[in-house]
Amino acid sequence: MDIAGEIKEKLSAEWLPAIYREKVRTQRTRSYRLDEIARRENRATVQHTLLGVELKVGNQRFSCPDLSTARYLQIFARVGCLEIAVPYDITKISTLADELESAWQKSLLLLDEAARGKTASVKGRMRSSLIREMREEIEEIGAGSLMPEFKQSTKQRSG
C-alpha cells in the first residue's frame, strides 16, 4: 500500500477528503474557484489588510469576507485544489475550517512518522504523493454548482 493509502486508512473519518465529502458536500454549498494557483502543494497565508482579510497563495491574492472563510479556503489552496465547495451557511465555516486544519495536521504528523529515517528526496516524493491523492479525491467529489439551489414552493390560487 502506498503512503497516502496508509494515512487514509489510519485517519478514516478524519481524512481530509472524507470530511469534505461527508460534512461539506452534504449541505448546501456554492462553488468557489481559486484561479491561477498551481495544482500542487502551495504556501497559503491569511493576511489582514486595511481592506479586510485576504488569502495569499503564491503571488495571487483572494479577498475573503471573513477570517473563517479565509482559513477554510487556505486548506484547499495548500493542497492545490482549483475549485471547491464553500458552505452557504456562514455559521458552519469556522467549525469546518477547524476540522479540516486538524485533519491536515494529523496527515502531516503521520507522514513524518512514516518518513522517519528516509532521505530528503524520498520524504518529498511521499509528501507530494499524499497531497496529490488528497487533491484528486477532492476534485472527484466536486465543487457543486456556482450558486446553491433554492427550493421555492409557491402556492398559486386557481380561479
Put simply, whether the predicted model's pTM sits higher than 0.85 gets the answer yes
Q: Collapsing DSSP states into helix, strand and coil, what is residue 48?
A: strand
29-88 tens-digit pLDDT: 999 999 889 999 999 999 999 989 999 999 999 999 999 999 999 999 999 999 999 999
Residue 151 lies in a domain: no
Supply 38's cell numbers: 498551481
In a domain, 51, yes or no: yes
Structural domain including 113 reads 3-141
Q: Is residue 94 part of a domain?
A: yes
Pick from 1-5, 37-41, 91-95, 143-147: least confident = 143-147
Domain assignment present for residue 155? The answer is: no
Question: pLDDT class for 145, splitting at 50, 70, 90?
Answer: confident
CA-to-CA distance for 148 and 69, rounded, in angstroms? 17
Residue 157, pLDDT above cutoff 80: no
H helices of 43-153, in order, are 67-79, 93-114, 120-141
Confidence of residue 154 (pLDDT cuts 50, 70, 90): low
Please give the tally of structural domains in the chain.
Answer: 1
What is the distance between the alpha carbons of residues 101 and 44, in angstroms, rounded to a whole number? 13
Mean pLDDT rounded to a whole number for the chain: 92
For the chain, state the CA radius of gyration: 18
Q: How far apart are CA 6 and CA 61, in angstroms?
A: 34
Residue 101 belongs to some domain of the structure: yes
Whether 117 and 65 have beta carbons less than 8 Å apart is answered as no
Neighbours of 98 (CB within 10 A): 13
Cross-strand partners of 50: none
SS3 7: helix
